[in-house]
């Protein structure tokens, strides 16, 4: 979404409130986005130094990484950027990742939002912190109880020595 910051640059307003929805990115890594991304926050002018502080809420569905149960969650992304014009950044030699560029007296918030989301979005999720997962042998969900698989397994290369112990 393009946000017009012209009133702030002219000094007519000190802050611009944000509250809008934007479509989510395409599904990735077995994550299905279930709704639009809600962005709330504000752009504030601090005597010529403009900052953006926003929060993005992203609803999604995925699977538990341990037991493979379906889970629905919402990911929260905090965004803090300093607004700058391209002319003010010409003398800088370092990356401009900390800045959100004002072009034609507007800022595009969607591109930096999606970039930050892809970088900070977790790759794994668990249904609960103490999820026990699945048995590696039989595949039983260990959250529902123990399975009948042997807990201690002898290395097959040393199995012949076990026979000596039981003689």
Mean pLDDT of 43-63: 91
Cβ–Cβ under 8 Å, residues 47 and 11: no
Q: Is pLDDT larger for residue 130 or for residue 30?
A: 130
CA distances (Å), origin 106, targets 2, 89, 121, 126, 139: 6, 16, 27, 40, 54
Choose between 105 and 153: higher pLDDT: 105
Q: How does pLDDT run across 60-100, given as a tens digit for each residue?
A: 999 999 999 999 999 999 999 888 877 777 665 455 677 88
Pairwise pLDDT comparison (139 vs 165), residue with the higher score: 139
Mean pLDDT, range 114-119, rounded to an integer: 85
Q: Tell me the pLDDT of the chain averaged across its residues.
A: 86
Looking at residue 155, its pLDDT comes to 80
Q: What is the pLDDT of residue 104?
A: 87
């Amino acid at each position: 979404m393009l946000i017009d910051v012209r009133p702030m640059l002219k000094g007519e307003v000190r802050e611009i409130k944000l509250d809008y929805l934007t479509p989510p990115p395409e599904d990735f890594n077995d994550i299905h986005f279930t709704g639009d991304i809600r962005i709330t926050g504000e752009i504030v002018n601090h005597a010529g130094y403009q900052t953006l502080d926003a929060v993005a809420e992203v609803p999604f569905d995925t699977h538990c990484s341990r037991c493979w149960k379906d889970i629905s969650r919402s990911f929260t992304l905090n965004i803090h950027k300093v607004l700058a014009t391209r002319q003010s950044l010409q003398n800088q030699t370092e990356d401009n990742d900390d800045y959100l560029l004002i072009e034609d007296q507007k800022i595009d918030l969607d591109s930096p939002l999606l970039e930050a989301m892809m970088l900070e979005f977790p790759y794994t999720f668990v249904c609960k912190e103490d999820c026990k997962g699945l048995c590696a042998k039989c595949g039983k969900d260990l959250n529902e109880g123990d399975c009948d698989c042997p807990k201690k397994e002898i290395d097959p290369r040393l199995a012949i020595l076990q026979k000596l112990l039981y003689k």
